[in-house]
Structure 1
Amino acid sequence: MEGCGDFIKWLGPDVSIKILMCLEDPSDVVRVCAVSSSWRQFVIANGLSKQLCLRMFPETSSVGHVIGVNNMIEPIDVRPDNSLEWEFLERDHRVYAFLARGLTSFVRKDCASEAIRASSTDNYPKESIQNTLEPSDRVEQRPSYWSSKGESEPTVPEMLLYKLTSNLCVITEIHVKPFQAYFQFGFPIYSAKAVRFRLGHPKCPVDLESYGRDESASAQEFTGGKFVWTYVSPEFPMAQENHLQKFTLPEPALCIGGILQIELSGRVQKQEMDGLYYICVSHVQVVGRPLLPAFDVEILDPSGKCTLKYYQDVDDCLHSTKSSEGETSSPSRFRFFTTSIRGWEQMIMNTLFGAGAVVVNDDDSDDEFPA
């Protein structure tokens, strides 16, 4: 190795940053840190993990602070003479590396955890929005679907509101299945003409808590001042067909706040008995990558600024218990391996080379993903 030089020293910081920012996988940034102490210092000092995370998910720019929850260190202004400067830089590096890695490691098809409210419901609770979380058109020999109220004007839209499994999720697809009324003459399908999706959070948590489940609400309440929508999709055409229609977002969208709104525009089917237009949905499925349990997001103010919280001792937070077979289990159905003495970087490196994994015990998926 005699005569070999360190390209970071040879090229200088500006060119070196441009080269390293060509990396597309957060795991590669971790590998760079493992090359030498000088490379590790360079990556941390220039915030390359954070830059990569922001490039992959621009919506994370609203994360105003990064807090290590265990020590509750509050962010402060970083100055050259500040003895805590390196500690903060290391913390940001660790958190954003984990964040980028956690958001890109696995995909779930059940990112919608709760149906909150519909803009209207025809027969509550029989035709409740809660039914849209059921994958089948029938539950216990009864039809399972949500139905809007009837309208004489086919242009009246409807809104469906859902809570996601995590306060921070990367959403790639949303699937919607219109309902076919198999108990009506002609088996009509009550689809919408088009669909649009919004991701965001309530301006105040109490606004969401005050929403009565399945009570009718005007479109104004859904699109007005109660929510901050950080992402709005283009409008997708919906077919009048009774199958799970897949709507792929142009780019993966980061939802900060864990709220999904589905806007259904245009009515195509009249009900024969009353001559009114309805929209009916049998099932909604949200595909994406929720944040790992080691993280959480707290909204700071109505503008959308938020705090990213990183729980270093995630095993303690999950209260894992030993099963009779000697394996570790937990109420949230995650299994974690213990961090080695070198800490978070060694844990990721072990995972990359097969020494550790986190398994999601999901009925529909056998995916494994690193912590």
Structure 2
Amino acid sequence: MEACMGFLDRLDPDILLKIFTYVDDPYDLVRVSSISRSWQHFVIANGLWKQLCLRKFSQLSRVAHVVELNKCWAVDAVQVGSSYSKEWEYLERDDRAYALLARASTTFTDRDCILKAISASSTDNYPQESIYNTLHPANNVRWRASYWSSKGQSNPAVPETLEYKLVDEFCVITEINLRPFQVYFDKGLPICSAKSVRFRVGHPKSPTDSGNDLPGYSLPDSADDKFVWTYTSQEFPMAQESHLQKFRLPEPVLCVGGILQIELLGRVHRCEIDGLYYICISFVQVLGRPLSPAFGVEILEPCGKFVLKIKNHRPFELQAQSNHTALAQLQKHLRDLQHISYIANMLHGNGNLVVNIDESEMDEGEDEYLL
């Protein structure tokens, strides 16, 4: 134990924390915590799980506080104990919450995350050309072409937007796919794609704008009047082709509030009959993962922050490894950390410092922390 504490104590705290900013894999942080009780204490005290999550999802900076709805391990004495005991309980709670969130956001298979279509900025012919048609992967439904069409515009720069409600108010989104509509019944078989596309995620400004009672074809006001956007993607170019076009986000995005907007920028096809420009989309797919039933959120208005609710700790826990495999991985990462610490001490003029870790304590920490 003393050797482990010495390793942590002999490094400058800022340098040590800087080292841990390079730990981006949840499995690696589990292994670090498993080295010993002192290392686990260090991870909790410095909020390393929270820091890892904030690096992955900037939207988490809006968390007001964390609530555990099923605290089977709650310690009643904390409520009447010292301020230090209360503070440590809060740190342990955050450690559990963000550790679970980090695992949940990285260990999953993508699935379709659209629950329903909410509205379009315009619709040319409702309901035959409504946004609801974009939920069907088939080009034809009931012997009719299935697509959404905007109203025509003389200015090709006028944008259009489509809003969707996701399957959960707390989701990780990784990819959004669109298929432009090819007008097979017009001369030349034109494709009514946009020039580019941009994506936003957010939440309703008020509970009455949850998306359950919105009209489904066009909002009477701008969508910006009803929704708060917490993430806006880069602009992606669209091909003038009718196949499914895939737009992988640079990093997975956390959607707090369950609302997605697709902004279609620039019109290409000009109708010969009326001389106006149109955008038509036949299918929309959003890939990611809902974070229920483990998590829930409560939006706090008007500040825009939210409460992160932990409902269930079991669904996203990491799979247990064999003792032999886990120990080998821990020892490898330990050697890496010892090498980094040696370099750090060289920079501080302590090149003769030799750090040893008690492997018997590492075995104890492994049994205690590995899932």
Deviation at 1:230, TM superposition (A): 1.0
The answer for the alignment partner of 1:32 in structure 2 is 32
Distance change >3 Å, CA 80–CA 27, structure 1 → 2: farther
How far apart, in 1, do the equivalents of 2:290 and 2:236 lie?
A: 24
| Paired residue total | 321
Instruction: Answer yes or no: is the 8 Å Cα contact 2:165–2:211 preserved in 1.
Output: no
SS in 2 for 1:262: strand
Distance in structure 2 (CA, Å) of the matches to 1:195 and 1:4:
52
2:245 equivalent to 1:245: yes
* 1:362 equivalent in structure 2: none
Instruction: Provide the residue aligned with 2:338 in structure 1.
Output: none
CA distance 1:206–1:61, change in 2 (3 Å) = same
RMSD: 3.1
* Structure with max Cα Rg: 2
Go from structure 1 to structure 2 and tell me whether the alpha carbon gap of 1:23 and 1:227 turns closer, same or farther (over 3 Å shift).
Answer: same
**Counting helix residues as a fraction of each chain, which structure ranks higher?**
2
Contact 2:4 2:38 (8 Å CA) reproduced: no
Asked if the contact 2:118–2:211 (Cα under 8 Å) also holds between the matched residues in 1, the reply is no
Task: Please say if residues 228 and 303 of structure 1, whose CA atoms lie closer than 8 Å, have aligned partners that are also in contact.
Answer: no
User: What corresponds to 1:184 in structure 2?
Assistant: 186
**Whole-Å Cα distance in 2 between the matches of residues 194 and 352 of structure 1?**
49
Q: 1:154 to 1:93 in 2, by over 3 A?
A: same
Amino acid at match of 2:219: A
**Counterpart mapping for 1:90-239 below 5 A:** 90-209=92-211, 211-217=213-219, 221-223=222-224, 225-239=225-239
> In structure 2, what is the equivalent of residue 329 of structure 1?
none
Q: Secondary structure at the match of 2:112?
A: coil
**Post-superposition offset of 1:262:** 0.8
Report the equivalent of 1:328: none
SS of the residue aligned with 1:187?
A: coil
**Aligned with 2:318 (options 332, 348, 356):** 348
CA drift of 1:80 comes to: 7.0
- Counterpart secondary structure, 1:230: strand
**How far 1:179 sits from its partner (Å)?**
0.3
Cα separation, partners in 2 of 1:194 and 1:20, compared to 1, 3 Å: closer
Contact 1:30 1:349 in 2 (8 A): no
Query: For the Cα contact (< 8 Å) 1:103–1:292, is it kept in 2?
Result: no
Give the drift of 1:246: 1.9
SS of equivalent residue, structure 1 residue 93: helix
- Write out aligned runs for 1:294-333 (5 A): 294-312=294-312
Match of 2:368 in 1: none
CA distance in 2, matches of 1:181, 1:129: 17
Aligned counterparts of 1:144 and 1:247: Cα–Cα separation in 2 = 22
> Is the contact between residue 121 and residue 214 of structure 1 (CA under 8 Å) also seen in structure 2?
no
Unaligned ranges ≥5, structure 2: 324-370
Q: In structure 2, what is the Cα distance between the partners aligned to 1:275 and 1:202?
A: 37
Q: SS of 2:60's equivalent?
A: helix
- Secondary structure of the residue aligned to 2:98 is helix
CA separation of 1:6/1:142 partners in 2, compared to 1, >3 Å: closer, same or farther? farther
Using the TM superposition, give the Cα deviation of residue 185 of structure 1 relative to its aligned residue in structure 2, in angstroms: 2.5
Compare relative contact order (CA 8 Å, sep 6+) and give the higher one, 1 or 2. Answer: 2
- Contact 2:100–2:313 under 8 Å retained in 1: no
- Report the 3-state secondary structure (helix = DSSP H, G, I; strand = E; otherwise coil) of the residue aligned with 1:122: coil
CA distance in 2, matches of 1:283, 1:124: 17
Moved over 6 A (4+): 1-5
**Is the CA contact (8 Å cut-off) linking 2:205 and 2:226 kept in structure 1?**
yes
1:167 touches 1:257 (CA, 8 Å); kept in 2? yes
**Identity rate of aligned residues, in percent?**
57
> Residues 294, 158 of structure 1: CA spacing in aligned structure 2 closer, same or farther, 3 A cutoff?
same
- Give runs of aligned pairs for residues 33-48 of structure 1, distance below 5 A: 33-48=33-48
Give the deviation of 1:229 after TM superposition.
0.9
Q: Which amino acid aligns with 1:348?
A: L
Query: In the TM superposition, what whole-angstrom CA distance separates every residue of 1:276-330 from its partner, at most 9, and x where no partner exists?
Result: 222110111122343242011111113320011001366xxxxxxxxxxxxxxxx
Q: Tell me how far 1:6 sits from its aligned partner.
A: 4.7
8 Å CA contact retained: 2:130, 2:217: no
TM-score (norm 1): 0.77
Quote the offset at 1:11 in angstroms.
Answer: 2.3
Query: Is the 8 Å Cα contact of residues 293 and 312 (structure 2) preserved in structure 1?
Result: no
Q: Name the TM-score, length of structure 2 as normaliser.
A: 0.77
